[in-house]
Chain A
């Protein structure tokens, strides 16, 4: 059961990664161009992963015998989520500013901090697929 959940989680994360890397028309309503969509989808994937992990932590604190708890306490997964959370904390506010700026100026350049943080998120997400197996 743990394996099926882990694999399913890995599948969903991979779907998000595929989406991140291959954004084409139609773009989401909030994305004025593909570059914004790629960054936004990485941020959205990171948010889902972090909040999902936090929920798992809370669940396992309340009921340690749950089948998912060994995976939740895995140090490698914990470290990966922490790294993703740090990148998300940088990326999300930067994304918000860039999205507003690009509405006024379609040529507004993606902030370097955002680009680096999105890259970190994508890297951790790709590692996550392996860690979750």
Chain B
């Protein structure tokens, strides 16, 4: 009895560390310790689950320990090998595996109900099916998100006409099958349960297919919430409090995070999920007669070198080209020459909110140089030059002055307030939102075409000759 008491205490401790970890992760000073606190809590919970008294359990410790070692090794090696730019994909994969774990738990419940002839009651069956559905969607959805972010798959490749309606129909079919299983009883509807699982997995794919580009972070946050919810549902199967509490904490915080991300883009969650973006902009003005003005490397170097203040606006292009370190080199040369260099970080710059901060931190850019939206706009108003490195939609003036634009109302970085604007860009292609950017035709704007890393490297050598 005392032993059971200790186990309960350990679970309680674990659950509290999760809350504590999330709390600490929300503040820059304590974030790192918060993560460690969470890891300790997880360790304690795993230990407690291993030694908790269970009547007649055969324990199979060899299996458990082997699995812990294999999983821990894979996880840690993978997380230390991944490049910082590929971080979002990694999170998606880890997240998907958690969902897959929940699917396996639900599947084993169903198999056991079948082979040992025990009949789960109504509530248990509902919960098993729920775990299967949410876990399945988390698994396949995350894997597809991974494939998209890794660029193994082109965005929108498998989008059906009226995809939103297809998804809705699929969901209704899945729910109808669930109701059938509930009515007939799980032990009498094995085939139907298998079909339910398959369609749940399919739904995960279909759910993520129409969503692409800048919306991916929102989906990952949402799938993260789903993995939490599936952990919670699995916790109800095992009547395990720490799974329930941990799962629902992640579920709630994931939903909040997805909503915060949508807010930064001034869009609703529903809008993102239906995937009605791109190709739009009925009022996007024809750009035919507008002039694009180019600038040479040499000229940009001179302008930057003799300016007083420069604001870099890094975007997705910088992340893709892995140009953060070269960017820092340019920064160093300019700073040494007395130029005041700052970075304007849009909330959704990069592949995930905060991703750009991580990348620039990796390149040793001092934290106080990174400005968030409001500070950045204040700095831009006084800046001599704004250098845009692979950002597009987050610096689109149409968000301010074109009510017909699909991104109208989204808070943007007002780079056009600076005296001059230099845009580093691979080509004149439009951004992820697929809309024209009038900034490129602005009278203050000069374009510097080429791969971001390549251009910045050349710019460094130009600057060194000055």
Asked if A and B bind, the verdict is: no
> Chain B residues in contact with chain A, CB under 8 A?
none
> Chain A residues in contact with chain B, CB under 8 A?
none
